[in-house]
Structure 1
Amino acid sequence: MDDDVRDSVVAALDGEGATYAVVPDAERVDSAFVEIPVPDGAVDPVLAYLYDNGVDEDAYTVVVDSERSESTVNDHLAERFVEGPKGNRGISHVEIRQRAEDLTPGRATYLAFAALSATLATAGLLLNSAIVIVGAMVIAPFAGSSLSASVGAVIDDRPMLVESVKDQALGLVVAAVSAVAVAYAVRWTLFVPSTLAVSRVEQVGFFITPTLLALAIAIAAGAAGALALATDLPVSIAGVAVAAAIVPSVAAAAVGTVWGQPVLVLGAVVLLLMNIVFINIAAYLALVALGYRSSVVASTWRDLGPSVRTAGYALVVVGFVAVTAATGAATYSHLAFEQDVNAGVQTTLAQEEYRGLELVGVGAQYDDPGVFASPESVTVTVVSDADTSHPDLATDMQAQVQDATGQNVAVEVHTQDYQRAAAEADSSTPVADRLSGVYRRVAGLFGRTVEDADETADNATDDATGRVDPAPLAVA
Structure 2
Amino acid sequence: MCIRDRINAETVVSEEFATLRERYSRGGQTGSRTSRQVLRTKADELTPPFAIYTVMLLISAVVATAGLLADSPAVVIGAMVIAPLLGPALAANVGIVTGDGRLKRTGFTYQIAGVTMVVVASIALAMLARLAGLEPAGVDIVVATELEERVAPNLFSLAVALGAGIAGILSLTRGFSEAIVGVMIAAALIPPSAAVGITVAWGMSGAATGAAALVVVNLLSINLAALATLWIAGYRPQGLFEVSPTRTPTYTYAVIFGVGLLVLAAPLASVTLLDFHTTELESAAEDEVDAVLAQPRYDGLESDDVVVELDGDYPIQSVDRVVVTVSEREPGPESGLADRLYEAIRPHSDGSLVVEVQYVVAEERGEDGNGDGDGDGDTALRTANDR
Tell me the TM-score normalised to structure 1 length.
Answer: 0.57
State the 1:290 CA deviation: 2.3
Q: Residue 161 of structure 1 aligns with which residue?
A: 104
Q: Distance in 2 between matches of 1:332 and 1:260?
A: 25
> How many aligned positions are there?
335
Q: Residue 70 of structure 2 aligns with which residue?
A: 127
Q: Distance in 1 between matches of 2:360 and 2:83?
A: 38
Q: 1:299 aligns with which of 237, 245, 266?
A: 245
Cα distance change of structure 1 residues 223 and 336 upon mapping to structure 2, 3 Å threshold: same
SS at match of 1:242: helix
Q: Distance in 2 between matches of 1:146 and 1:377?
A: 38
Cα distance change of structure 1 residues 397 and 242 upon mapping to structure 2, 3 Å threshold: farther
Are 1:156 and 1:294, in contact at CA under 8 Å, matched by a contact in 2? no
Are 1:117 and 1:136, in contact at CA under 8 Å, matched by a contact in 2? yes
Structure having the higher Rg: 1
* Structure 1 residues 157-183: Cα deviation after superposition (integer angstroms, max 9, x where no partner): 333222211111111111110000000
> Which amino acid in structure 2 is aligned with residue 134 of structure 1?
I
> Which amino acid in structure 1 is aligned with residue 114 of structure 2?
G
SS at match of 2:177: coil
Are 1:228 and 1:234, in contact at CA under 8 Å, matched by a contact in 2? yes
Are 2:97 and 2:246, in contact at CA under 8 Å, matched by a contact in 1? no
Q: 1:115 aligns with which of 43, 58, 81?
A: 58
Cα distance change of structure 1 residues 398 and 120 upon mapping to structure 2, 3 Å threshold: farther
Q: Residue 261 of structure 1 aligns with which residue?
A: 204
Q: Residue 308 of structure 1 aligns with which residue?
A: none
* Structure 1 residues 21-72: Cα deviation after superposition (integer angstroms, max 9, x where no partner): xxxx758xxxxx9xxxxxxxxxxxxxxxxxxxxxxxxxxxx9x99x9998xx
Are 1:208 and 1:366, in contact at CA under 8 Å, matched by a contact in 2? no
Q: Residue 351 of structure 1 aligns with which residue?
A: 288
* Structure 1 residues 92-120: Cα deviation after superposition (integer angstroms, max 9, x where no partner): 11222222222221111112222221111
Q: 1:103 aligns with which of 46, 49, 53?
A: 46
Q: Distance in 2 between matches of 1:303 and 1:128?
A: 43
Q: Which moved more, 1:188-197 or 1:358-367?
A: 358-367
Q: 2:154 aligns with which of 211, 221, 236?
A: 211
Is the aligned partner of 1:330 residue 2:263? no
Are 1:376 and 1:409, in contact at CA under 8 Å, matched by a contact in 2? no
Q: 2:124 aligns with which of 181, 202, 217?
A: 181
Structure 1, unaligned runs of 5 or more: 1-24, 28-32, 34-61, 71-83, 305-312, 370-374, 419-476
SS at match of 1:138: helix
Q: 1:231 aligns with which of 149, 170, 174?
A: 174
Q: Distance in 1 between matches of 2:344 and 2:66?
A: 35
SS at match of 1:206: helix
State the 1:289 CA deviation: 2.5
SS at match of 1:90: coil
State the 1:203 CA deviation: 1.1
Q: Distance in 2 between matches of 1:193 and 1:147?
A: 40
Q: Residue 297 of structure 2 aligns with which residue?
A: none
Q: Distance in 1 between matches of 2:145 and 2:265?
A: 26
**RMSD of aligned Cα (Å):** 4.6
Q: Distance in 2 between matches of 1:385 and 1:153?
A: 64
State the 1:86 CA deviation: 12
Q: Residue 318 of structure 2 aligns with which residue?
A: 376
Cα distance change of structure 1 residues 168 and 400 upon mapping to structure 2, 3 Å threshold: farther
Tell me the TM-score normalised to structure 2 length.
Answer: 0.69
State the 1:331 CA deviation: 1.9
Q: Distance in 2 between matches of 1:380 and 1:220?
A: 37
Are 1:209 and 1:267, in contact at CA under 8 Å, matched by a contact in 2? yes
Cα distance change of structure 1 residues 366 and 86 upon mapping to structure 2, 3 Å threshold: farther
State the 1:358 CA deviation: 9.2
Cα distance change of structure 1 residues 190 and 202 upon mapping to structure 2, 3 Å threshold: closer
Cα distance change of structure 1 residues 299 and 332 upon mapping to structure 2, 3 Å threshold: farther
Q: Distance in 2 between matches of 1:412 and 1:240?
A: 44
SS at match of 2:99: coil
Are 2:32 and 2:175, in contact at CA under 8 Å, matched by a contact in 1? no
Cα distance change of structure 1 residues 155 and 176 upon mapping to structure 2, 3 Å threshold: same
Q: Residue 144 of structure 1 aligns with which residue?
A: 87
Cα distance change of structure 1 residues 200 and 385 upon mapping to structure 2, 3 Å threshold: same
Cα distance change of structure 1 residues 350 and 189 upon mapping to structure 2, 3 Å threshold: same
State the 1:416 CA deviation: 11
Cα distance change of structure 1 residues 164 and 346 upon mapping to structure 2, 3 Å threshold: same
State the 1:221 CA deviation: 1.8
Are 1:221 and 1:279, in contact at CA under 8 Å, matched by a contact in 2? yes
Cα distance change of structure 1 residues 349 and 116 upon mapping to structure 2, 3 Å threshold: same
Q: 1:190 aligns with which of 128, 133, 138?
A: 133
Cα distance change of structure 1 residues 183 and 202 upon mapping to structure 2, 3 Å threshold: closer
Is the aligned partner of 1:289 residue 2:228? no
Cα distance change of structure 1 residues 106 and 412 upon mapping to structure 2, 3 Å threshold: farther
> Which amino acid in structure 1 is aligned with residue 100 of structure 2?
D
Q: Distance in 2 between matches of 1:416 and 1:239?
A: 50
State the 1:244 CA deviation: 0.8
Q: Distance in 2 between matches of 1:147 and 1:382?
A: 50
